Structure 1
Amino acid sequence: MRIRTRTRPLKGRTVVVTGAARGLGAALSRALDDRGARLALLGLEGARLEEVAASLRHEAAYWETDVTDDKAMADTARQVRARFGPVSAVVANAGVAEGGPFADSDPDVWRRVIEVNLIGSASTARSFLPDLFSTQGYYLQITSLAAMGTSPLMSAYCASKAGAESFAHALRAEVAHQRVAVGIAYLNWIDTDMVRDADRHAVLRELRGHMPRPARKVHPADVASERLATAVEQRRAAVYMPAWLRAVQPVRALLPPLVTHVARTELPRLEREEPFEATGLLGAGGRADDRARRAP
């Protein structure tokens, strides 16, 4: 009888993870390390990146860089290539979020969400595409249920994730003939600093609370990271966490009018109970982004 052994397609290959200092990025780095990958960790928090790199069993290194800085990202890509050789996979995970009424939003904060989640993803792809061309590699774009539907009081996040999804679809078609695969990850609520911080704000806590029970559940980052790591191994075109999100795809056009119908009555009631206020960038990652932008 022939015994089947588990293949390890990532063993010895270099994978870039952005937003790797904490939360899902850190958990995904560990999951990829378990599969034998060498990790290039990118983010804004050098001390935390160093801790993540030190916790991995295989070769890893970190670069403190802003994904929205095209020159810095290009320099980082050259340094990663010099350290590890050409990259085989890239996960564009870096992201921030904020909540509150659009009419009262801080334009700088609103714009920053777009910059990190959409423009930062594009800069990441642009910087590492030469490697992916040479390795016939894989690019995974992290998006959200927000890319398929919509949500009041989170206009920047929804716009950025929908944009990131559309960017990934366009990129997939553009590079397919060069045998570079592009995947899109659709995630719902994952237990990260950003989501925990969102629950401290009534405006976002109530928003999640009004979702159907399966849709409001928060999933452990370690569970999500295992699914994402498998997607990288298998070069999947799409990955869903939780799995039922796949069923939303055929009916996603129904979501905006449904959300509008519910919001028309629920938002005025919620605002009477507690006035909506802008949250600013959420979580420790958001605060790190604030510090980095304001540093001299």
Structure 2
Amino acid sequence: MSEAPSSRNSLAGQVAVVTGAARGVGAELARALAARGARVALIGLEPDELAATAADCGPDAAWWEADVTDLAAMTSVAERVSAHYGRVDVVVANAGIAAGGLFQDSDPDVWRRVVEVNLLGSVTTARAFLPALVAARGYLLQIASLAALTPAPLMTAYCASKSGVEAFAHALRSEVANQGVRVGVGYLSWTDTDMVRGADEDEVMRDMRASLPWPTNRTYPLAPAVERIADGVARRSVHVYAQGWLRGYQLIRGQIPLFLGRFAPLRLRALEPRLRATADARRGLVGRGGAADEAARKARQL
């Protein structure tokens, strides 16, 4: 646990829910919020990892296993979290998965699942927890991505889903403001998580990312990024930027598709033979979080 936060960034006495909390950004954010005094409720698919993260977050932390796309399960969890803690002040809709590669080569079911988890899972999370947030006049933070600001080739499902959650959160903000609920959107570039490391195991995808213009071609350390997100939660910010330079991309986001449309095809032309030759290797979800989602779906089908 880190040093005690300043009163400005303290979350003492607040209850914070984090989805996708078994690993990566979600797990690190749960620890950061707990370090600021929050009692954290973790939601995810991997019981062992959730239990370990909860242990890191102190005796007031608890965890629940649930698929964020399952409305009945998430509604039940929301009720149990509210009963356990008596209130919910913050919800961070963080759960997410990814797949890469050319759209024409993608598995339709995998492509659809990325959108289901990232977009519809966030919608389900909001639907389940909004009654508690209204009661507490709380804060919902939707984790989006650089992919919402700069849609890129080889990431069609991920970009579509993250653009969707950004738009959903902005639209929802106006609807719930009169009920005292604030809504924010968090943006991250490539950050050192299992998901990004899993994507980098694909040599062609790694080479494509390396060719992106600075600073989008870097992988950024997890802890500083998460501390920026935790600052945004404490302030209940409308926009939260895990890397400071992302703020500037808001100003030029309308021009980025024009730039990509001109230059990305040149790079893709050089990579296309390798992409086609290795297409079967990238028809699934990336990283250990993706593997956990696939395992959970198969278990439900038995």
Give yes or no for TM over 0.5. yes
Asked if structure 1 preserves the Cα contact closer than 8 Å seen for 2:107 and 2:283, the reply is: no
The equivalent of 1:11 in structure 2 is: 12
Please, which of 292, 297, 301 is the counterpart of residue 293 of structure 1? 297
Q: Distance in 1 between matches of 2:242 and 2:249?
A: 12
Report the CA distance between 1:164 and its aligned residue. 0.3
Determine if the alignment matches structure 1 residue 29 to structure 2 residue 30. Answer: yes
Amino acid in structure 1 at the alignment position of 2:214: R
Note the C-alpha offset of 1:103. Answer: 1.0
Distance 1:279-1:105 versus aligned 2 partners, 3 A rule? closer
Tell me the CA shift for residue 58 of structure 1.
Answer: 4.5
Aligned position for 2:199: 198
Aligned to 1:147: 148
1:57, distance to aligned residue in structure 2 (A): 2.4
In the other structure, the counterpart of 1:284 is: 288
1:137 has 2:142 as partner? no
Deviation sequence 1:152-202 (CA, Å, 0-9, x none): 111000000000000000010111111111010111011000100111112
Q: Structure 1 unaligned segments of length 5 or more: list them.
A: none
| 1:215-253 CA-partner distances (Å, limit 9, x unpaired) | 111111111111111111100000112111111112111
Indicate how the Cα distance of structure 1 residues 59 and 251 shifts in structure 2: closer, same or farther if over 3 A, else same: same
Pairwise CA RMSD: 1.2
Partner SS, residue 97 of structure 1: coil
The aligned counterpart of 1:125 is: 126
Once residues 209 and 149 of structure 2 are traced to their aligned partners in structure 1, the CA distance between those partners, rounded to angstroms, is 16
Residues 70 and 272 of structure 1, relative CA distance in 2, 3 Å threshold = same
Aligned residue pairs, count: 292
SS at match of 1:242: coil
Q: Please give the alpha-carbon distance, in whole angstroms, between the structure 2 residues aligned to 1:80 and 1:86.
A: 8
Query: In the alignment, what sits opposite 1:52?
Result: 53
1:202–1:274 CA contact under 8 A, matched in 2 = no
Tell me the amino acid that sits aligned with residue 114 of structure 2: V
Separation of aligned partners in 2, 1:249 and 1:213: 16
Q: Secondary structure at the match of 1:214?
A: coil
Percent identity, please. Answer: 53
Whether the 8 Å CA contact 2:147–2:163 is kept in 1: the answer is yes
Match of 1:264 in 2: 265
- Give the letter for the 2:89 counterpart: S
- Judge which range, 204-213 or 108-117, deviates more: 204-213
* Aligned pairs (5 A) from 1:1-296: 6-7=7-8, 9-273=10-274, 275=276, 276-277=278-279, 278-295=282-299, 296=302
Rounded to whole Å, the distance in 1 between the matches of 2:9 and 2:213 is 38
Which whole-Å CA distance do the structure 2 matches of 1:109 and 1:274 have between them?
18
